[in-house]
Structure 1
Amino acid sequence: MSEIPTRKPPDSPLAPQWYRLEARKEEKRAKGEIMLAIWLGTQADEAFPDAWQSDTGGIALNRSKVYISPRLWYLRIELLRAQDLFPPGKDVRGDVFAFVDLGPGQAHFRPAIRRGGSAAFHGGEIIFVVAEPFAEQLVIKVVHKVSKDKDELIGVVRLPLYNVAKRHDRKPVEARWVDIQKEKKPDDAPPANGKKDGAPAPPAKNGPKFTSRLQIAVSLDGGYHVLDETTHHTSDVQPTDRRLWKPAMGILELGILAAYALLPTKTRDGRGTADAYCIAKYGKKWIRTRTVVGSLSPQWHEQYTWEVYDPCTVLTVGVFDNHILNEENKKQQQNGGGGPPPRDAIIGKLRIRLSTLRTDRTYTHSYPLISLERSGVKRKGELEIAVRFSCTSQFHLLHAYVNPLLPKLHYTEPLSVRQVEGLRRIATNILIAYLHRSEPPIRPEVVRYMLDADARTWSYRKTKATWKRMLNVFSSLRNLYLWFRDVCYWKSKVTTIFVFFLYMILVCFPEQILPTLFLYMCLIGAWHWRYQPSHPPHMDIRLSQAAQTLDDELDEEFDTYPSSKPPEVVRARYDRLRSLASRIQIFFSDMVTQLERFNALLSWRDPRATAIFTLFCFVIAIILYVTPLRLVGVLFGLYIFRPPRFRGRMPHPATNFFRRLPALSDCIL
Structure 2
Amino acid sequence: MEGDRRNEVKFSSRIHMRICLEGGYHVLDESTLYASDHRPTARQLWKQPIGMLEVGILGAQKLLPMKMNNSRGSTDSYCVAKYGQKWIRTRTILDTFSPKWNEQYTWEVYDPCTVITLGVFDNCHLGGGGEKGPSGSSNAARDSRIGKVRIRLSTLEANRIYTNSYPLLVLHQHGVKKTGELQLAIRFTTLSLANMVYIYGQPLLPKMHYLSPFTVNQVENLRYQAMNIVAMRLGRAEPPLRKEVVEYMLDVDSHMWSMRRSKANFFRIMSLFSSVITMGKWFNQVCNWKNPVTSVLVHVLFLILILYPELILPTLFLYMFLIGLWNYRFRPKNPTHMDTKLSWAEGVNPDELDEEFDTFPSSKPHDVVRMRYDRLRSVAGRIQTVVGDIATQGERFRSLLSWRDTRATSLFIVFSLCTAVILYATPPKVVALASGLYFLRHPKFRSKMPSVPSNFFKRLPAQTDSML
**Deviation per residue, 1:465-493 (Å, 9 max, x gap):** 11111122222222222221111111111
8 Å contact from structure 2 (residues 131, 140) kept in 1: no
Q: Corresponding residue for 2:47?
A: 246
**Deviation per residue, 1:146-174 (Å, 9 max, x gap):** xxxxxxxxxxxxxxxxxxxxxxxxxxxxx
**3-state DSSP of counterpart to 2:180:** strand
- For residues 326 and 252 of structure 2, the distance between their equivalents in structure 1, rounded to whole angstroms, comes to 40
**3-state DSSP of counterpart to 2:222:** helix
- For residues 184 and 20 of structure 2, the distance between their equivalents in structure 1, rounded to whole angstroms, comes to 43
- For residues 328 and 443 of structure 1, the distance between their equivalents in structure 2, rounded to whole angstroms, comes to 14
For 1:260, the aligned partner's letter is Q
Q: CA deviation at 1:524?
A: 0.9
- For residues 610 and 624 of structure 1, the distance between their equivalents in structure 2, rounded to whole angstroms, comes to 21
Q: Corresponding residue for 2:111?
A: 310
- For residues 451 and 543 of structure 1, the distance between their equivalents in structure 2, rounded to whole angstroms, comes to 20
- Which is bigger in relative contact order (C-alpha 8 A, separation at least 6)? 2
Q: CA deviation at 1:496?
A: 1.4
Q: Corresponding residue for 2:363?
A: 564
Q: Corresponding residue for 1:257?
A: 58
8 Å contact from structure 2 (residues 168, 178) kept in 1: yes
Q: Corresponding residue for 2:69?
A: 268
Q: Corresponding residue for 2:292?
A: 493
Q: Corresponding residue for 2:425?
A: 626
8 Å contact from structure 2 (residues 28, 226) kept in 1: yes
Q: CA deviation at 1:186?
A: 5.9
Matches within 5 A, 1:257-656: 257-325=58-126, 329=130, 342-656=141-455
**Deviation per residue, 1:583-629 (Å, 9 max, x gap):** 11111111111111111222222222222222221221121122111
- For residues 477 and 283 of structure 1, the distance between their equivalents in structure 2, rounded to whole angstroms, comes to 37
8 Å contact from structure 1 (residues 348, 380) kept in 2: yes
Q: CA deviation at 1:515?
A: 1.5
For 2:348, the aligned partner's letter is T
**3-state DSSP of counterpart to 2:21:** strand
Q: CA deviation at 1:268?
A: 2.3
8 Å contact from structure 1 (residues 318, 348) kept in 2: yes
8 Å contact from structure 2 (residues 68, 131) kept in 1: no
8 Å contact from structure 2 (residues 286, 294) kept in 1: yes
- For residues 641 and 572 of structure 1, the distance between their equivalents in structure 2, rounded to whole angstroms, comes to 52
- For residues 433 and 319 of structure 1, the distance between their equivalents in structure 2, rounded to whole angstroms, comes to 20
**3-state DSSP of counterpart to 2:240:** coil
**3-state DSSP of counterpart to 1:406:** coil
With over 3 angstroms needed to count, the CA separation of the structure-2 counterparts of 1:650 and 1:219, relative to structure 1, is closer
- For residues 289 and 9 of structure 2, the distance between their equivalents in structure 1, rounded to whole angstroms, comes to 98
- For residues 570 and 222 of structure 1, the distance between their equivalents in structure 2, rounded to whole angstroms, comes to 44
Q: CA deviation at 1:270?
A: 3.2
With over 3 angstroms needed to count, the CA separation of the structure-2 counterparts of 1:587 and 1:219, relative to structure 1, is closer
Q: CA deviation at 1:269?
A: 3.4
With over 3 angstroms needed to count, the CA separation of the structure-2 counterparts of 1:501 and 1:449, relative to structure 1, is same
After TM superposition, the score normalised by the length of structure 2 is 0.93
- For residues 538 and 287 of structure 1, the distance between their equivalents in structure 2, rounded to whole angstroms, comes to 21
With over 3 angstroms needed to count, the CA separation of the structure-2 counterparts of 1:471 and 1:187, relative to structure 1, is farther
Gaps of 5+ in 2: 11-18
Q: Corresponding residue for 2:33?
A: 232
8 Å contact from structure 2 (residues 124, 140) kept in 1: no
- For residues 614 and 477 of structure 1, the distance between their equivalents in structure 2, rounded to whole angstroms, comes to 32
8 Å contact from structure 2 (residues 131, 139) kept in 1: no
Q: CA deviation at 1:189?
A: 5.6
**3-state DSSP of counterpart to 1:317:** strand
- For residues 68 and 20 of structure 2, the distance between their equivalents in structure 1, rounded to whole angstroms, comes to 54
With over 3 angstroms needed to count, the CA separation of the structure-2 counterparts of 1:269 and 1:489, relative to structure 1, is same
Bigger strand fraction: 1
Q: Corresponding residue for 2:16?
A: none
**3-state DSSP of counterpart to 2:397:** helix
Count of residue pairs brought into register by the alignment? 453
For 2:21, which of 181, 198, 220 is the aligned residue?
220
Root-mean-square deviation over aligned CA pairs: 2.0
Q: Which is higher, the Rg of structure 1 or of structure 2? A: 1
- For residues 575 and 255 of structure 1, the distance between their equivalents in structure 2, rounded to whole angstroms, comes to 49
With over 3 angstroms needed to count, the CA separation of the structure-2 counterparts of 1:219 and 1:448, relative to structure 1, is closer
Q: CA deviation at 1:235?
A: 0.8
Bigger helix fraction: 2
**3-state DSSP of counterpart to 1:221:** coil
For 2:195, the aligned partner's letter is H
8 Å contact from structure 1 (residues 278, 289) kept in 2: yes
- For residues 280 and 388 of structure 2, the distance between their equivalents in structure 1, rounded to whole angstroms, comes to 22
**3-state DSSP of counterpart to 1:367:** strand
For 1:530, the aligned partner's letter is R
**Deviation per residue, 1:403-423 (Å, 9 max, x gap):** 111111221222212111101
- For residues 660 and 292 of structure 1, the distance between their equivalents in structure 2, rounded to whole angstroms, comes to 71
Q: CA deviation at 1:327?
A: 5.7
- For residues 267 and 232 of structure 2, the distance between their equivalents in structure 1, rounded to whole angstroms, comes to 38
8 Å contact from structure 1 (residues 348, 370) kept in 2: yes
After TM superposition, the score normalised by the length of structure 1 is 0.66
With over 3 angstroms needed to count, the CA separation of the structure-2 counterparts of 1:602 and 1:296, relative to structure 1, is same
For 2:416, the aligned partner's letter is C
For 1:223, the aligned partner's letter is G
- For residues 8 and 128 of structure 2, the distance between their equivalents in structure 1, rounded to whole angstroms, comes to 55
- For residues 447 and 131 of structure 2, the distance between their equivalents in structure 1, rounded to whole angstroms, comes to 81
